[in-house]
Amino acid sequence: MITEGLFERLREINERDGTALLLVEQNAELALDLARRAYVIAAGHIEVSGSSEELRDDDAIRRAYLGH
């Protein structure tokens, strides 16, 4: 409940003020719902980047990080 409330508040801040947010989150599903762009970082390096829709639609990303 706390995480969902926090994400809702972050969404409100972004939509109301247009404030850019940098979010580091392990819950990929929730993060992709909020983000416009996303980056997959492994061992300190960006492995994949793109719009949240691109990453969500990528079969390899879904299997590795979203459990689909």
What length does the chain have? 68
pTM: 0.77
HEC readout, 9-59: HHHHHHHHHCCCCCCCCCCHHHHHHHCCEEEEEECCEEEEEEEHHHHHHCH
Residue pLDDT, tens place only, 2-51: 888 999 999 999 888 888 889 999 899 999 999 999 999 999 999 999 99
Residue 55 confidence (pLDDT) above 90: yes
Output the pLDDT for position 68.
80
Cα distance between the two ends of the chain: 23
